[in-house]
Amino acid sequence: MTTNGHSSNGSTPRLLEGVKFLDLTWYGAGPIATRTIAGMGADLIRVETEKRPDGLRVAQPRPADAAGYNLSGYYNNFNTDKKSVTIDLTTERGHELGLELVQWADMMMTNFTPRAIRQIGMDWDTVSKANPGIIAMYQPMQGMTGPHSEYGGFGAILGTICGVNGLAGSEGNPPAGVGTNYTDYVVNPIHAVTALLAALFHKRRTGEGQMIDMSQLESSVAALAGPLFAQVNGAGAYVRQGNRVDYAAPHGAYQVADGQTAEGDPRPDRWIAIGCTTEEHWRSLAAATGHAEWADDARFATLADRKANEDALDALVADWARPQDGEAAQATLQAAGVPAGLVLNATEVLADEQMVDRGYFRYLDHPEAGLRAQDGSGFKLSKTPCEPARHSPLLGEHTFEVATDILGLTPDEIADLVAEQVLF
């Protein structure tokens, strides 16, 4: 039984029971991938340093006036079920200990740039010599080879290069992106999980480990490839069209009247998203809004007609929506089978009756941050649940344990290494 497992229920099988994973990632895309692996029950050790801590450890959101490395919600949501060990891999002794962990591990992952990977001595030649059967994923921004492989950047930089900014929004507005470093959170980390598990599947069949070169650029472009695939294959140049799409109309966000939340606070910025992808959706929308005549209007007879007259169509839907109560409009449309949903803010998502009923968010007690909401797993497995079970580790919380149990160091040796700032 691993200490980071669902220890309250010893009978629940863990998908990756017994798999040893060395996590040399930081920031978003790497740690979220390894969080998911840890949630599957792998014994996962994340190596950090206090000399150069993960920026997320000191990022917002934190409780007001809070200081220290253990209070950031940004970090704490993305590192559940992990052990944290502080080793300075840039020191000679630290590197030796790092290689011992490589030998311990079945799998490892890093998302540093190739240059930084060489600096900490964790390139494929080195790790595969230390552990020939290992699966090692390298997930730098642009991959391990090519003229841009050493380029630096965080999610905001990648978002521009991979096309999020160039695709989102409307012509006429600057390409400001989608308000987040979008591909850091699901696209790149969960792609990485699939790749890691595929490699594990292969290793268990053949005994062979392998190197995985996972370029965050390629991973991101692959998930945003529709427009460029269409353009290069003759469909014409991509045009940014806000909330519209080629394949459905009406399709957009329509402002509704201020509603009341349970707490009674006003919501001046309240919208309902509607996306009619079938003729049935469209006719149902017309009927449900009390405008059966729309369905008979020659301007809107087919999808092509509705696309050709989309400004007029959107104006009609917007006029209908504007005085509606949002919840009531959503209920009316859903009762008629029209794809419609309120644009929820984060508070509303946390309290959303569907999310609550399904128990998506997990509330874990953290020794410094208190009882906090955590994202659950994006997939539910009926026999081997992958939901987070243990709070994210304090910085170096498991250094002593790992140094003793895995690295075989004595308390005196550990004290010396702490004094030498190899372990800290």
Partner 1 sequence: MAMALEGVRILDASGPIGHYAGRMLADLGADVIKVEPPEGDPARRWGPFLPGVDEPESGLQFLLLNANKRGVTIDLTDAAGRERFLELAKTADVVIDSLQADEAAALNLTTADLEAVKPDIIHCSITGFGLSGPHANWAYSDIVGCAVSGTMQLAGMAEGPPEQLPDMQGYHSASIQAAAGIMGALVYHQATGEGQAVEVSMQEAMSMSQETAMMQADILGTNRERGVPARGLDIPGLGLHETADGYIYMMASGFAGTGFPGLVGLMDATGDAQDLTSDEYTAFIAEKMNTNFIMAALADEAQRAPLQDKLDHMSDVVREFCKKHPKLYLYQEGQARRVLIGMVSTPQDILDSPQLAARDWFVDLEDPGRGVTLHYPGPQWQLHGTPSTLRRPAPLLGEHNDEVFAELGATAAADA
- Catalytically active residues are 184
Q: Which helix (H) or strand (E) holds 238?
A: none
CB of 423 to partner 1, least distance (A): 25
Specify whether the CB–CB gap between 11 and 381 falls below 8 A.
no
Residue 181 interacting with partner 1 (CB under 8 A)? yes
Residue 193 interacting with partner 1 (CB under 8 A)? yes
Compare residues 306 and 398 and give the one whose CB is closer to partner 1: 306
Residue 413 interacting with partner 1 (CB under 8 A)? no
DSSP string of 157-222? Answer: HHHHHHTHHHHSSBTTS----SSS-GGGTTHHHHHHHHHHHHHHHHHHHH---EEEE--HHHHHHH
- 3-state class (DSSP) for residue 345: coil
**Binding test (CB under 8 A) with partner 1, winner from 130, 339, 394, 416:** 339
Compare residues 319 and 420 and give the one whose CB is closer to partner 1: 319
Chain positions 285 to 304 lying near partner 1, rule: CB under 8 A, are none
Residue 177 interacting with partner 1 (CB under 8 A)? yes
Instruction: In whole angstroms, give the CA distance from residue 59 to residue 170.
Output: 31
**Binding test (CB under 8 A) with partner 1, winner from 195, 249, 313, 321:** 195
For residue 239, give the DSSP letter: -
Count of residues engaged in binding partner 1, rule: CB under 8 A = 158
Determine the Cα angle at 322 with ends 317 and 323, to 5°.
Answer: 125
Distance of CA 384 to the CA centre of its chain: 21
* Beta pairing partners, 253: 273
Compare residues 14 and 398 and give the one whose CB is closer to partner 1: 14
Show the binding pattern over residues 343-382: x = contacts partner 1 (CB under 8 A), - = does not.
xxxxxxxx-xxxx-xx-xx-------x--xx-xx-xxxxx
Sign of CA dihedral 55, 59, 63, 68: positive
Instruction: In whole angstroms, give the CA distance from residue 383 to residue 14.
Output: 8
Q: Residue 90: how many CB atoms within 10 A of its CB? A: 16
CB of 329 to partner 1, least distance (A): 13
CB of 86 to partner 1, least distance (A): 21
Q: For residue 136, count CB atoms less than 10 angstroms from its CB and return exposed for 0-12, middle for 13-18, buried for 19 or more.
A: buried
**Binding test (CB under 8 A) with partner 1, winner from 156, 257, 287, 301:** 156
Q: Which residue has the tokens 């009316």?
A: 332
Show the binding pattern over residues 99-138: x = contacts partner 1 (CB under 8 A), - = does not.
----------------------------------------
User: What amino acid occupies position 357?
Assistant: D
Chain positions 52 to 71 lying near partner 1, rule: CB under 8 A, are 59-64
Q: Which helix (H) or strand (E) holds 374?
A: strand 370-374
Specify whether the CB–CB gap between 216 and 187 falls below 8 A.
no
Chain positions 31 to 50 lying near partner 1, rule: CB under 8 A, are 32, 36, 40
Chain positions 216 to 255 lying near partner 1, rule: CB under 8 A, are 217-219, 221-238, 240, 242-243, 245-248, 251-253, 255
Compare residues 226 and 411 and give the one whose CB is closer to partner 1: 226
Instruction: In whole angstroms, give the CA distance from residue 37 to residue 16.
Output: 8
CB of 403 to partner 1, least distance (A): 30
Compare residues 297 and 352 and give the one whose CB is closer to partner 1: 352
Pick the stretch among 86-94, 146-154, 287-295, 411-419 that binds partner 1 (CB under 8 A).
146-154
For residue 250, say if its preceding peptide bond is cis, omega within 30 degrees of 0.
yes
Show the binding pattern over residues 1-20: x = contacts partner 1 (CB under 8 A), - = does not.
------------x-xx----
